[in-house]
Amino acid sequence: MEIIVETRPGKLRGLLENGVAVFRGVPYAAPPFGELRFRAPEPPPPWEGVRDALANGPTAVRRGYRPPLDEILAEVAIPGEDCLNLNLWTPGLDGRRPVMVWIHGGSNRNGSNAVPLYDGSAFARDGVVMVAINYRLGVEGWASFPDAPDNRGLLDQIAALTWVRENIEAFGGDPDNVTVFGESAGAIDLGVLLGVPAARRLLNRAIIQSGGPAAAHRAAVSKATGQIARRLGVPATAAAFADVDEERLLDAQAAVMGKSGLAGGPQLGPVIDGELVAGPPEDNVDPEVEVLIGHTTEEYRLWFVPTGGVDRMGPLMARLAMLKMGVKGRVWRGYKALYPGAKPGEVFGLVLTDRLVRLANRRLAEGRPIGRTWLYEFAWRSPERDLGAAHAMEIPFVFDALAMPESRWMVGENPPQGLADEMHAAWVRFATTGEPGWPAWNPSTRPTMVFDADSAVVEDNRAEVHALWD
């Protein structure tokens, strides 16, 4: 059954699928090519008649994940220039329902709203209008040029939120009750947006999954841009890059960014530009926004286990890596004592997980007003490929999508549906009421919801780990 909705740019034709109205490939900005390449997004051109919104729209320019991650993380490539689009699921066109907007992860170089796991049907089933957005990736969205605005990916995300503000009521959504949620790079971008006034006006709550507010200094991103330019043999300007063949540009980007990793390397992502991002984003998160923030227990295993890195790293290599990151010897010794049976690569990975995510989450909570922040940890361990509680493992549970084949690539054949019921309900509850269902962070008891086959609120979660870093 077809459904037609009128938006500011024009009428859209969607479909009713299992009781949910779905609109796909909806343009929220003009195609960022031609004269608009490397520019801030412009509003979508209006159209006459009814525009079909029946299929996923084009995805941003990028390469797929490198092996072996391509066998674990789903990726979809759809050619076309109209890549600044969104997908939308709604239980009905009447009323004013809570809205959730998903910003996908992928290191700001991969991912799209067309990934099957990001289907919003379960959220619509439970009374939420859900939107999943695309934004420019890699050089297109994040390289730093003297003749183009920085943070084009962030500007795209703000343009998508602006579209939601202006049009979501026509889809039965409440523009005054918008929760933005993101994972990995999407969570980092969201953390930055929480300190940007132009974005803050467009959202009410945030769910930050395995990331947090962080941006590089312009010099670091300019350096990565310069390395790509030297590979191409052109000046590090937007005008010069615009004349480069797309495949050559992707080749150069892959060659340079292949040197980056969890512990450092060339950077393409949010930049402190003094304008959109005025300063360190971790210092500028709006104190009034309600934030649910968390991580997986073993983030590192997504990168270290499938590649065999966890087995290749011996004690000396692990210790040298710790020294390079400035981790004190007593911290390293403390982790080895806490995890006596762990391999050196596993201990290194646990230190890295905690340093990059767990400690940052706690610092963010400690710096915010009491009653505005909730913490969680995803601890369920997948047997698939020995991934354990790896990065991105919570996504199929949050989206209540365990039955999808793409979920089984990560969670295996018999994941606990009860955990999906629990996490998905918490996300919906937070978007609807502002409370996920457990106590907000406070400095006295420091509560964290630990999601597992048997979930529980844990006070002062992993205090022995935090004590090592104090």
The residue ranges of every structural domain in the chain are: 2-283, 297-469
The CATH number given to 297-469 is 3.40.50.1820
Q: What is the DSSP string of 150-163?
A: S-HHHHHHHHHHHH
- The domain covering 2-283 belongs, at the CATH homologous superfamily level, to Alpha/Beta hydrolase fold, catalytic domain (3.40.50.1820)
Describe the chain by its helix, strand, coil percentages, rounded to 5: 35, 20, 45
List b or e across 254-291, with b for residues whose CB sees 16 or more CB atoms inside 10 angstroms: bebbeebebeeebbbbbbbbeebbeeebbebbbeebbb
* Tokens representing residue 288 in the block: 């009034």
State how far the Cα of 97 lies from the Cα of 90, in Å rounded to an integer. 9
pLDDT tens-digit map of 412-461: 999 999 999 999 999 999 999 999 999 999 999 999 999 999 999 999 99
Backbone conformation region of residue 377, classed left if phi is above 0, alpha if psi is from -120 to 50, else beta: beta
DSSP 119: -
H or E element at residue 99: strand 97-103
Report the SS3 class of residue 301: helix
Residues designated catalytic: 184, 299, 391
pTM beyond 0.85: the answer is yes
Full pLDDT tens readout for the chain, 470 residues: 899 999 999 999 999 999 999 999 999 999 999 999 999 999 999 999 999 999 999 999 999 999 999 999 999 999 999 999 999 999 999 999 999 999 999 999 999 999 999 999 999 999 999 999 999 999 999 999 999 999 999 999 999 999 999 999 999 999 999 999 999 999 999 999 999 999 999 999 999 999 999 999 999 999 999 999 999 999 999 999 999 999 999 999 999 988 765 555 678 899 999 999 999 999 999 999 999 999 999 999 999 999 999 999 999 999 899 888 889 999 999 999 999 999 999 999 999 999 999 999 999 999 999 999 999 999 999 999 999 999 999 999 999 999 999 999 999 999 999 999 999 999 999 999 999 999 999 999 999 999 999 999 999 999 999 999 98
Decide if 2-283 and 297-469 have a common fold.
Answer: yes
pLDDT at 264: 58
